[in-house]
Amino acid sequence: MQRSAAALILLMTSFLLPARADERGWVDLFNGKDLTGWSQRNGTATYRVENGTIVGKTAEGSPNSFLCSDKLYGDFELMFDVKVDAALNSGVQIRSQSVDDKPSGRVNGPQVEISLDGMAGYVYGESAGGWMTPDADRKPHTHFKDGEWNTYHIVAFGNRIQTWINGQPVSDLVHDERFQTHPAGFIGLQVHGIGAGQGPYEVRWRNLKLRDLSEFKTLYNGKDLTGWKTTGNWIPQADGSLLIQPREGEQGWQRYDAYLWSDKKYKDFVLDVEYAYPPGGNSGVYFRVGDRNDPVSKGIEAQVLDSSAKTDPLGPHDHGGIVGTAAPSANQSRPPHEWNRMVVTCVGSHLQVELNGKPIVDTQLDQGAMKDRPLEGYIGFQDHGRPNDIKFRNLRIRELAR
């Protein structure tokens, strides 16, 4: 596929997505009944639907086979469950293409590995240069469980591909070259070829769902604080993240002008944020703040807090909770210095929070302590004072129209 055609695909991506989505933007890629919306490319392995799962079965002597989505996707978030026979290697293609854009053309592009050799979740260039995750970064792990359903979580945004297996981060890859050649494409479920006298083996997929990220706008440019206001010590980092490093003697959380505030107000939206805290780190994601001089009573805060070691029941002030109104349903905190990802969805009075891939808050603001809070306002990140050095990155938002 020529690069000009790939660029056109990227522009078309949002129009090709399924029309129906929940408030958080998720759509089902598989209807649980048949293979509508999918087509096979390459190979003679077979695909069937059985008990709400897609089952791929090897065919002796066949090259790699791929069941591919008819729709094309560029920036997106993908989740699915997978189970594979121990002797079989598999994978899921993302942003992939066929040579000459024909079903018989060789499938090529990034593949997220499915295997029991400790390499599951790393990114391979199928017929596209081999391993994309560098050798030094491919450290064997045991996150993928033999004989069990394993939950994959993939985020592809620009030149970055991030993967998790069963809630554990595996790969965080920036690959400019492959993004240039494969900015968008189909999703493909691989059944790997096998040698003579082997098999048959099977691989199973279920709960395939996708959230389009192509309409998200970047809130932080990775270089400076254009679009933001603060008197605090927010320092752009060389890796594109943003560090809040309170100055010596800066204590407490009521220095509201030291928070990082957006220039713009937002009403209904999906806000996507990543951050890493030190041991005991404390901050907050603020939104719909009507008065930046009094965000505690004129806005809403989703708590950022190192709750990773907490075993007691969680309250509204624990990580991911909505301060003053809603406790998280599960402790999804990553250990200190690891990246957490929070997704906040506001539609009218309906507020939902996902933390590290799991929904943890689903509440109606007009039915509790937040019923008098504004339905539109600024977005902010809290400077809680020394010693809360916290990094933020990948700040993006999708505004929603009602």
**Over the stretch 242-251, which tens digit does the pLDDT of each residue have?**
999 999 999 9
The pLDDT score that the predictor gives to residue 260 is 98
The pLDDT score that the predictor gives to residue 402 is 67
Average pLDDT over residues 258-271: 97
Average pLDDT over residues 209-219: 95
Selection from 212, 216, 276 nearest residue 244 by Cα:
276
**Residue 382 structure tokens:** 């809290």
Task: State yes or no: pLDDT of 4 exceeds 60.
Answer: no
Domain with CATH 2.60.120.560 in the chain: 3-212, 217-399
Task: State yes or no: pLDDT of 16 exceeds 70.
Answer: no
* Least confident residue range of 19-28, 93-102, 327-336: 19-28
Task: State yes or no: pLDDT of 21 exceeds 70.
Answer: no
Mean pLDDT score of the chain, rounded to an integer?
Answer: 93
pLDDT band at residue 2, thresholds of 50, 70 and 90? very low
* CA 91 – CA 121 distance, rounded (Å): 9
Query: Which fold, 217-399?
Result: Jelly Rolls (2.60.120)
235-242: long-range contacts, CB 8 A cutoff, minimum separation 24: 237/391, 239/393, 240/393, 241/391, 241/392, 241/393, 242/391, 242/392, 242/393, 242/395
Average pLDDT over residues 171-183: 96
Average pLDDT over residues 51-63: 94
CATH class, range 3-212: mainly beta
Task: State yes or no: pLDDT of 60 exceeds 80.
Answer: yes
Selection from 255, 238, 288 nearest residue 393 by Cα:
238
pLDDT band at residue 8, thresholds of 50, 70 and 90? very low
For residues 93 and 193, the model is more confident at 93
* Least confident residue range of 7-11, 293-297, 302-306: 7-11
**Over the stretch 282-297, which tens digit does the pLDDT of each residue have?**
999 999 999 999 999 9
pLDDT band at residue 19, thresholds of 50, 70 and 90? very low
Selection from 393, 347, 78 nearest residue 213 by Cα:
78
Selection from 298, 294, 321, 324 nearest residue 310 by Cα:
321
Beta strands in 51-181 (DSSP E): 53-57, 65-69, 76-84, 90-98, 107-114, 123-126, 130-131, 150-157, 160-165, 168-174
CB 130 within 8 A of CB 124: yes
* CA 204 – CA 309 distance, rounded (Å): 35
The pLDDT score that the predictor gives to residue 69 is 97
The pLDDT score that the predictor gives to residue 199 is 76
Task: State yes or no: pLDDT of 18 exceeds 80.
Answer: no
* CA 396 – CA 179 distance, rounded (Å): 19
The pLDDT score that the predictor gives to residue 12 is 41
Q: Compute how many other C-beta atoms are within 10 angstroms of the C-beta atom of residue 386.
A: 14
What percent of the chain lies above the pLDDT cut of 70?
94
Selection from 98, 91, 97, 154 nearest residue 119 by Cα:
91
- CA-CA distances (angstroms) from residue 175 to 133, 209, 211, 272, 351? 9, 24, 21, 21, 34
Task: State yes or no: pLDDT of 104 exceeds 60.
Answer: yes
**Over the stretch 127-143, which tens digit does the pLDDT of each residue have?**
999 999 999 999 999 99
The pLDDT score that the predictor gives to residue 198 is 85
